[in-house]
Structure 1
Amino acid sequence: MKTKCLSLAAALFVAGAMFTSCANDPEEAPVQPDETQITTRAYGDKSPIVSVYVEINDNDPRIVTSYKDGNGKAFIDLVHLFAANVNVDSDGHAVIYFNDKMAPMFADFHTYLDPIKAQGTKVLLTILPNWQHKGMANMDVAEADRFADILTYIVDTYQLDGISFDDEYADYYDYVDNSYSYIIKALRAKLDTKFGAGAKLITVFQWGNYGQIDAAAGAMLDYADHGYFGPNVFQSSSYISGMTNDRWMPQAIQLGDSYNAIYLNQIKTRSSQAASGNYGGIMMFNMRRYSERSPLPVFQKIAEGAFGGTVTYDGTDYTRSWTPDPNGYTITKNDVPAYQPTFTGN
């Protein structure tokens, strides 16, 4: 697994601090959405929802349970476990690899994930390429079907609430037209057949080859995250075809950084804008332990801006307690059944 390299330390795009990702890919031109076939797959009655990415290399995901809103309910609605990798087998097929930190966490997933789910927070696994020339942008129809079977198996086996995609670090040699759409469509069909329509979530981080996502695939996404970080960032959903604002996260906040009062007030203002504009959610990356980098100042400004509320920290500062497995764990198509329906490209 490669640690994501998104930081506030990048150059400003506009006054008021829009900061860029330090991922390798240049930003692609926005794609205007086709409004046909669009459905909203939001859940619950909280709007906008609060979403965080937690780096499992460094953190116990239960850190998200330590923060409550003013009513004593979970402040965080969606947590992404960052990240499992797209590797390749000896035949060049995509497989999923849990690295030395991820594998032991999943081996005892009830301990680490059940408390999160018990409070009503959804748990997604992020899928991230791994410099092996394979990712969401170079799978044909048959490969997308195989890949979706593996992902459905992972959701089923580890009782997850869905899959999130981040197409970075693939080091592509080639591309396949519509590959990203194939994967989303295949996975949506299999998840809906296995678990019921809309029971499981699919999300996309807007970075790397999202221009391959057509309107039909974009309409199948539950949420998508804006891909450029900064306290004053706010962008519309026009980046991804088929996406609508009520499923879009227009803010992107790096929790590994510190923010002064000016930046915190920008976060509050933008969070208010997300709520008043009926946007889907507010996304934050790289949540850390309270003692390492407290997210509470950011959480508080989001709560004030979006909900007119407060956030409290209960004092539980989880330390990653599992022993790394030097071999990691790989899941291949040979390990999983064929989930229906078989994807044929439609």
Structure 2
Amino acid sequence: MNKIIFSLALICGSLLFTSCEDDLVVGSVNQSSYNNIGKLEASLKDKNSGLSDNIIELRTKEYTTSVCVNLTKAPMKGVDFAISYDAEYLNEYNTQHGTNFKLFPQNLISLDGASEANILMAPDEKQSLAVNLTIQPASTDLEEGTTYVLPLKITTATEGISLSSTSHCVYLIKNYHNEADCDKGADAVKNFLYFEVNDTNPLNALEFVREDGKLFFDYVVLFAANINWNAETGRVYVYNNPNVQFLLDNNEQYLQPLRKRGIKVLLGILGNHDEAGVCQLSDMGCKEFARELAALCNAYNLDGVNFDDEYSNYPDLNNPWLTNASSQAGAKLLYETKKAMPDKYVTVYYLGSLGSNCPSINGITPNNFVDIVVADYGQSTRPMTGMTKKQCAGMSVELRRGYGSTTEDYARSVKEDGYGFYMWFALDPSLYASQVYRIQNVSKGLYDQEVKDPTFYYKKNDTTKYSR
């Protein structure tokens, strides 16, 4: 017992001495990171996506979804919230993103059937009951293809509740006058197709049709434009080879027919064996390159971009545009691109420094600035932070080489596991004998129905339909 008491005395003395030593450095600890601990904040998000910024297409039918209030912790008391339309937020949103979007008319929406909704959260609730949001189509009153902002906000009179930076839930709405031919339902797995445009005409995506008349492919990536380095000017820029540039210059004939039927058209961005790379731009480089991408997508009426971190050389670190290759630099470019064009899709091919370990930027998790992720050939995709499998491809298929599973059973497992996408690469009419049946197998697994044999095809840089 005496030994134990003596040992405890030594420990206490040691702790006292340590405490005295620690007193010498009191005040050197940065306590700013602890300022928000225990703070009760409220945010407003779409119930289905979990996001405060959402892209939707409004076509011939009303659009329905729901919103809910989220708290950082249980309030331990009843809390009242009001959800309402906020026209004044349009200017702030446009200023933040450098956009000039128009305001969506308030008379075309309802919240639980009314102009605004009031909800009461119980003391132990961190998420409110869903409030139904209905958006009416108005094809004659709204400009086709123009982006409109529908801003919703939350307010509360309950003391002790702070509104977070996401106290607004924004819907970026594009109005179209026709029904989407590839609309298979909100929960259906979608098909994400890369075209090698040096060889193949993207109009061929229109020839793959299910038995019910719906198009099989939902997204088309033009593979690929390049992130290039200009040694003379010391700048990074977008380079379109002649095949990509031809499609952009003639996009009304080759790209808009896809978009008018509901297919999203994305521009692939790939390294080009020089110092530029999608994961090795400085903060300044990310902002400038993102602005160029946004201008290009707006000029050619595209739906977004797809990033692929390949074929880049070591950067010159003395140049202010460049930095060491890292997932942090890649995440920064994704973040800046989404900020520069919030109504477009930012998508990622997992390779190099782009993967599921994508970090947050300024406290914003990747699910807020990346819409879709696909894996390398033969693999499924792990979600980035904040994502669900609905934003991921459950399989990636290289059609020309035959990589990736296309059995009916595997496709059905992708659907049952909750993945949102199936990825395809290098569809080619000259190889249909070995490609079409693989697409048909997957269609049976995903949708329980066949894809019809394509009866026509398009030659490169030619809008003529040729019989097979």
Tell me if the contact between 1:223 and 1:247 (Cα under 8 Å) persists in the aligned partners: yes
Q: Within 5 A, what are the aligned runs for 1:1-346?
A: 39=50, 45-89=186-230, 90-173=232-315, 175-177=324-326, 178-192=328-342, 199-211=343-355, 213-215=358-360, 216=364, 218-219=366-367, 220-227=369-376, 229-230=377-378, 233=379, 235-238=380-383, 240-258=384-402, 267-289=407-429, 295-321=435-461
Tell me if the contact between 1:67 and 1:76 (Cα under 8 Å) persists in the aligned partners: yes
Tell me if the contact between 1:256 and 1:293 (Cα under 8 Å) persists in the aligned partners: no
Report the Cα offset of residue 217 of structure 1: 5.1
Report the Cα offset of residue 243 of structure 1: 3.5
- AA matched with 2:247: M
Q: Secondary structure at the match of 2:194?
A: strand
* d(CA) in 1 for partners of 2:313, 2:219: 29
Q: Secondary structure at the match of 2:209?
A: strand
Report the Cα offset of residue 270 of structure 1: 2.0
Q: Percent identity?
A: 24
* d(CA) in 2 for partners of 1:283, 1:163: 15
Alignment length, in residue pairs?
271
* d(CA) in 1 for partners of 2:330, 2:216: 32
CA RMSD of aligned residues (A): 2.4
User: Which range is displaced more, 290-299 or 243-252?
Assistant: 290-299
Tell me if the contact between 1:164 and 1:205 (Cα under 8 Å) persists in the aligned partners: yes
Cα deviation 1:21-71 (Å, max 9, x = unaligned): xxxxxxxxxxxxxxxx98466866152101110001001110101110121
Report the Cα offset of residue 214 of structure 1: 1.1
Structure index of larger Rg:
2
- AA matched with 2:256: D
Q: Secondary structure at the match of 2:407?
A: helix
* d(CA) in 1 for partners of 2:236, 2:186: 37
Tell me if the contact between 1:117 and 1:123 (Cα under 8 Å) persists in the aligned partners: yes
Higher relative contact order at CA 8 Å, sep ≥6: structure 1 or structure 2? 1
- AA matched with 1:297: Y
Structure 1: gaps spanning 5 or more residues? 1-36, 193-198, 323-346
Tell me if the contact between 2:381 and 2:395 (Cα under 8 Å) persists in the aligned partners: no
Tell me if the contact between 1:214 and 1:242 (Cα under 8 Å) persists in the aligned partners: no
Q: TM-score, normalised by structure 1?
A: 0.72
* d(CA) in 1 for partners of 2:254, 2:297: 15
Q: Secondary structure at the match of 2:429?
A: coil
**Structure that is richer in strand per residue:** 2
User: Which range is displaced more, 273-282 or 143-152?
Assistant: 273-282
- AA matched with 2:366: G
Structure 2: gaps spanning 5 or more residues? 1-44, 57-184, 316-322, 463-468
Report the Cα offset of residue 299 of structure 1: 1.2
* d(CA) in 1 for partners of 2:255, 2:270: 20
User: Which range is displaced more, 157-166 or 82-91?
Assistant: 82-91
Tell me if the contact between 1:42 and 1:247 (Cα under 8 Å) persists in the aligned partners: no
